[in-house]
Amino acid sequence: GAGVSQSPSNKVTEKGKDVELRCDPISGHTALYWYRQRLGQGLEFLIYFQGNSAPDKSGLPSDRFSAERTGESVSTLTIQRTQQEDSAVYLCASSPGQGWHTEAFFGQGTRLTVV
């Protein structure tokens, strides 16, 4: 694919329901990031995958949040028992991961609205 693909682009869910967000990184990119962007605010780091290393989960805000990645391909971010404060745009990015000089490429994001 040409770029990082995220689905769905928009998701409206009822409070208390679980949601799953998907990210397809650029082929061959070993690094993958999830960020959260609340309305009018900056980027909040959630989780970082790099190859086969243990993911950096230090940004996950609570145990309701989890993410998985199969090898160097698709990643899913799951939010259980959603709350209204989870409403935000969830951004995924991938990077070739070869050293820290390389840039990250972002998807268009999933806009999550919890009602």
| Site residues (vs another protein, CB under 8 A) | 31, 33, 35, 41-43, 45, 48, 50, 56, 91, 93, 95, 97, 99-101, 103-109
Residue 93 Cβ vs another protein, minimum distance, rounded to whole Å: 7
Is the peptide bond prior to 61 cis by the omega test (within 30 degrees of 0)?
Answer: no
Closest by CA position to 1, among listed 111, 108, 103: 108
Residue number with CB closer to another protein (16 or 61): 61
Residue number with CB closer to another protein (56 or 87): 56
Residue 68 Cβ vs another protein, minimum distance, rounded to whole Å: 18
The DSSP element (H or E) to which 107 belongs, if any, is none
Is the peptide bond prior to 8 cis by the omega test (within 30 degrees of 0)?
Answer: yes
